Chain A
Amino acid sequence: MGEDIESKRGVLRRTGSYLRSRPTSQKVGAGAAAALLASAPFGGLSGPAADGPGTIVAGKALMVGPYKVVIDKVVELPDLKPAVSPEPSQRVVVLDSHVTLTGDRPEYAVTLTQNVKIQGGGVKVVDGPRLYFVEDATQMREFNPGLTYRLAITFTTSGPWQGDEVTVKSRLVEFREEDSATLDPNAWVARDEIQAQGELPIVRRS
């Protein structure tokens, strides 16, 4: 037993003198590696944090909570009758899109409409977005899963859009199995964080 302790002490002594004899650069490197290893339980070895919002591109799928949205093009019109009839001074900006509710349960449209917006053009959005099924111009308020609709996502603006591009943004919408804020389990919850944004060209039609 006594010999055991003595031999362990010898090993430690030899290790200590070996480390002391190393150059400073190696000591610093070893110290950094040890610190990184020690921080592993707190995320020290995890990958880098996601940097900034994703990019919205025409024709590419974008997830807004449970909704898969593909914006095909952005169009500005004086109106979109019979669905949208704004004042003569106003305009309608339409995200011509295909929208699919993924997952296995229904959702109401607000989960999508509250989390997509447009910016720029030197105008204000005075109404919208609203969702209209292109095939019959009826407003979509409810979605069942597994069906894809070509939708006009409409924004009524205070006047004509200035410039050739529209900034489209979507907020991060997360599924929470438990939400301490609302006590509602299994809910889609919007975060105050931009998940994706992009500059899309605007097409003007009269």
Chain B
Amino acid sequence: MRRAVASAAIVIAAMGLGRLITDHLPTTETADKPFFHDGAVGSPVALDYADVTVTGVHVTPTIMGNPASAAGGRWLVVDLELKARHSPTSMAGFFLVDANDRRWIASSRGPECATAANLSTGVRHWASICFDVPKEALADARLMATRGAWDSHEAQFRRDDVARVDLGIAGSEVDALWAQKDAVNVKEAGPVPPEEAQR
């Protein structure tokens, strides 16, 4: 009898401990979290699979082309240089995070705007990512670059390396950037340097 009571007590205690662990330890969060690598414009960010460098940031209402692409808000165009480190790699996750931790995804509308990049090992690849965003997305915007595409569960880049690059847009600069009218010429993505690329 005593043994049965002791066994029951052990089972109940084990269940209680399990409940405590699942309720109070952020197991899912830690298991799912990507690994962020911070950087700034002009400095390469070394990920496990690629180097990511933001080489330019532009804000414009229009991307040149035939026809030109108009923004619903403004285009935030981020120029990138990418290089796969150890093996051919596809990167499809390019999105912005603003000062309020909101997400903004890249648009495929601009004629040469890239939403993904297929990288050959050791070969430099240039691409421009275009975001059609409202004004509130600009201040303190950071580019996130990773392999898995953004989705509402952010499930495609769990436990993967993510470059988080501060685009250097201060809140005080937003009005001036928003007022800019000059169109931006986005170059064709690929292994050809922008100064030699088409368009």
Closest to B136 in A: A146
Query: How many angstroms from the CA of A25 to the CA of B103 in the assembled complex?
Result: 65
Query: How many angstroms from the CA of A136 to the CA of B75 in the assembled complex?
Result: 14
- A169-193: which have CB < 8 Å to B? 184-188
Cβ contact within 8 Å between B137 and A136: no
CB distance from B197 to the nearest CB of A (A): 21
Query: How many angstroms from the CA of A145 to the CA of B104 in the assembled complex?
Result: 8
CB-CB under 8 A from B136, the residues of chain A are 146
B68 contacts the other chain (Cβ, under 8 Å)? yes
Cβ contact within 8 Å between B153 and A144: no
- Given A144-B132, A187-B152, residue A138 in contact with residue B105 (CB < 8 A): no
CB distance from A135 to the nearest CB of B (A): 4
Query: How many angstroms from the CA of A176 to the CA of B153 in the assembled complex?
Result: 12
Cβ contact within 8 Å between A106 and B105: yes
Cβ contact within 8 Å between B109 and A149: no
Query: How many angstroms from the CA of A106 to the CA of B94 in the assembled complex?
Result: 13
A139 contacts the other chain (Cβ, under 8 Å)? yes
CB distance from A134 to the nearest CB of B (A): 10
Cβ contact within 8 Å between A106 and B104: yes
CB-CB under 8 A from B155, the residues of chain A are 184
Cβ contact within 8 Å between B134 and A133: no
Query: How many angstroms from the CA of A184 to the CA of B106 in the assembled complex?
Result: 22
Cβ contact within 8 Å between A138 and B109: yes
Cβ contact within 8 Å between A142 and B107: yes
B180 contacts the other chain (Cβ, under 8 Å)? no
Closest to A148 in B: B72
Cβ contact within 8 Å between B152 and A105: yes
The residue from A82, A145, A187 contacting B153, defined by CB atoms under 8 A apart = A187
Query: How many angstroms from the CA of A13 to the CA of B110 in the assembled complex?
Result: 86
Tally of contacts, chain A with chain B, CB under 8 A: 64
B16 contacts the other chain (Cβ, under 8 Å)? no
A104 contacts the other chain (Cβ, under 8 Å)? yes
A141 contacts the other chain (Cβ, under 8 Å)? yes
The residue from A133, A141, A144, A145 contacting B131, defined by CB atoms under 8 A apart = A144
A107 contacts the other chain (Cβ, under 8 Å)? yes
CB-CB under 8 A from A138, the residues of chain B are 67, 69, 109-110
CB distance from A1 to the nearest CB of B (A): 41
CB-CB under 8 A from A149, the residues of chain B are 72
A147 contacts the other chain (Cβ, under 8 Å)? yes
A140 contacts the other chain (Cβ, under 8 Å)? yes
Cβ contact within 8 Å between A147 and B109: no
B73 contacts the other chain (Cβ, under 8 Å)? yes
Sample 10 A-B pairs with CB under 8 A, ordered by A number: A105-B152, A106-B103, A133-B72, A135-B70, A138-B109, A140-B109, A141-B108, A146-B134, A147-B132, A187-B152
Residues of chain B whose beta carbon lies under 8 Å from any beta carbon of chain A = 67-70, 72-73, 95, 102-110, 131-134, 136-137, 150, 152-153, 155
Residues of chain A whose beta carbon lies under 8 Å from any beta carbon of chain B = 82, 104-107, 133, 135-142, 144-149, 184-188
Kindly list 12 other residue pairs between chains A and B, CB separation below 8 angstroms, not including A104-B102, A142-B106.
A82-B67, A133-B109, A136-B67, A136-B70, A136-B109, A141-B107, A142-B105, A144-B137, A147-B133, A184-B155, A185-B153, A188-B152
